[in-house]
Amino acid sequence: MKKGTWKKHHKWFGLLFCFFILLFSLSGIILNHRTLVSQIDISRKYLPSLFEYKKWNNNFLRGTISLQKDTNTVFIYGSAGIFKSDKRATFFKEFNKGFPQGVDNRNIQAMAETPSLELFAAAQFTLYQYNSTRGWMIAPNSPNERLTDIITHQDSLILATRSHLYVSLPPYQSFEKIEIQKPKGYNAKVTLFRTVWLLHSGELFGIVGKVFMDLLAVVLIILSVTGILYWCLPKYIKRLKQKGVKPQQSVRLLKGSLNWHNIIGRYTIILTLFVSFTGWCLRPPILIPLAKNKVSPLPGTILQSDNPWNDKLRAIRFDTHKKEWLLSTSEGFYSLKDLKSTPQKLGKVPPVSVMGVNVLEKDSLNQWIVGSFSGLFTWNRDTEEIVDYFTGEIPSSTSGAPFGKRAISGFSKDFKGKECIVEYENGSNFAEMPNEFGVLPMSLWNVALEVHTGRIYTLLGSGTLVFISFAGLIVFWVLISGYIVRKKKK
């Protein structure tokens, strides 16, 4: 192409897309520092209506627990915290006293009650224990890892993190760490998707990597702002001259903006192209092949671990019929005779989305109910029969799509005469949700995630699924065209 064409592409694509580049950059910095912003919330009334809670959707109801002593009490838990109800779902009352400020600190993954009536709640990063006087308190000596599940078995409290299991016995003041054995045929490879994900955030190299990527985000912000100034200032300077005003300061700002735009853009071109390329890979359609292919972990990174289950555990249950443990992981389902035995991978299992299992419960016929964003299925482990919960049909594949026809996010069998199956977008009609719950806050971190993934642009409809792919290509083109324009000037 001619130089003039490259210049037009850089100018107009850059101007039209600089707003999105600024949002990508700012949201990326926030995503890299979740703890620092965990106490900051945004009311859902300021967000697109799709993000309001309706009919218990958007992970409001992830699950429930019915108390042993007060059998009429049911606690609902999920992304908004914990809410008290009864067996007939006639009322709903907040039960979040004691949690730290910020909804991100009360995003509950699971709850459990011990035989001695101790009540525990596993938030994403903290295990809480209920105190009748002070409310929820951090459980003593609990692990400092990302939590995924908590259950009881006899008098034991079993806590699952993304990488380990922990067992606590009465009086539940300490936890024994259990590193699960390597399964047969284990290799240390990790998904290409996770590798690219951690490269994009910088987390692959720990805090140093994250700060480095933050600096690249600042670079993109500077390039966007200086580009806007270079476009706006000539018109402003012209108006000042027409009014007889000397525009020395504006001229200096114009020259400085162009100088910084050119220097920073030229010396960071490889790095900024890398950021846009890796971000482009993390959404459909590239996401799917990345999730299905594995590579060896890069040496010296957080992916290199002696733990074969590093960041792979999702849920754990005890199968009373089989008298063995059932472990749900990002690698599939495994059975264990005891928590220290070698896991055995199960062959014929229900489809589960790459986002992980959301429902893992037994029904009255001793079958497992397995739900994820791929759908809801019943699973008879004796006959290995798997059928769609809604249609009774046999699924065509055990490899779950990221989103099925029904994206299941929650389930409960604790309400009398009410089937409670919650879809992520459509929710559930098991009971009417109080109107005031609709605009309960979303954490700033989650808002940043919706911005960074493009889901915030709800006007695009289903186009949000490919927005990042489109945006990544545009940013890539803006960077390339800018570099070529400068190179030709030289």
Q: Which residue has the higher pLDDT, 292 or 333?
A: 333
What is the rounded average pLDDT of the residues 227-246?
A: 91
* Main-chain phi, psi angles of 11, to 5 degrees: -65, -55
Is a pLDDT exceeding 70 seen at residue 28?
Answer: yes
Question: Could you read off the pLDDT of 66-92 as tens digits, one per residue?
Answer: 999 999 999 999 999 999 999 999 999
What is the rounded average pLDDT of the residues 180-190?
A: 94
What 250-256 contacts at long range (C-beta under 8 Å, 24+ apart), as own/partner pairs, is 253/229, 254/229, 254/230
Query: Peptide bond before 171: cis, by omega within 30 degrees of 0?
Result: yes
When pLDDT is cut at 50, 70 and 90, the band that residue 286 belongs to is confident
Is a pLDDT exceeding 90 seen at residue 367?
Answer: yes
DSSP-assigned states of every residue in 408-445:
EEEEE--STT--EEEETTTB--SSPPPGGGGG--EEHH
Question: How confident is the model at residue 398, as a pLDDT?
Answer: 56
Question: How confident is the model at residue 487, as a pLDDT?
Answer: 77
* Main-chain phi, psi angles of 234, to 5 degrees: -55, -40
Alpha-carbon distance of 126 to 388, in angstroms, equals 35
Say which range, 199-213, 377-391, 397-411, 428-442, has the weakest mean pLDDT: 397-411
Say which range, 32-46, 389-403, 447-461, has the weakest mean pLDDT: 389-403
Question: How confident is the model at residue 400, as a pLDDT?
Answer: 52
Nearest to 32 by CA among 360, 336, 452, 467: 452
Question: How confident is the model at residue 147, as a pLDDT?
Answer: 99
Question: How confident is the model at residue 488, as a pLDDT?
Answer: 60
Q: Just give the CATH number of 106-181+321-346.
A: 2.110.10.10
Question: How confident is the model at residue 402, as a pLDDT?
Answer: 61
Question: How confident is the model at residue 463, as a pLDDT?
Answer: 85
Q: Which residue has the higher pLDDT, 397 or 154?
A: 154
When pLDDT is cut at 50, 70 and 90, the band that residue 401 belongs to is low
Say which range, 58-67, 209-218, 435-444, 481-490, has the weakest mean pLDDT: 481-490
Alpha-carbon distance of 444 to 428, in angstroms, equals 26
Is a pLDDT exceeding 90 seen at residue 2?
Answer: no
* CATH 2.110.10.10 residue window(s) in the chain: 106-181+321-346
* Main-chain phi, psi angles of 115, to 5 degrees: -60, -25
Question: Could you read off the pLDDT of 85-138 as tens digits, one per residue?
Answer: 999 999 999 999 999 999 999 999 999 999 999 999 999 999 999 999 999 999
What is the rounded average pLDDT of the residues 166-180?
A: 97
Question: How confident is the model at residue 404, as a pLDDT?
Answer: 74
Is a pLDDT exceeding 80 seen at residue 20?
Answer: yes
Question: Could you read off the pLDDT of 287-304 as tens digits, one per residue?
Answer: 888 988 999 999 999 999
Residue whose tokens read 């402003």: 236
What is the rounded average pLDDT of the residues 245-268?
A: 94
What is the rounded average pLDDT of the residues 142-163?
A: 98
Question: How confident is the model at residue 287, as a pLDDT?
Answer: 84
- Return the structure tokens found at 58: 């958007």
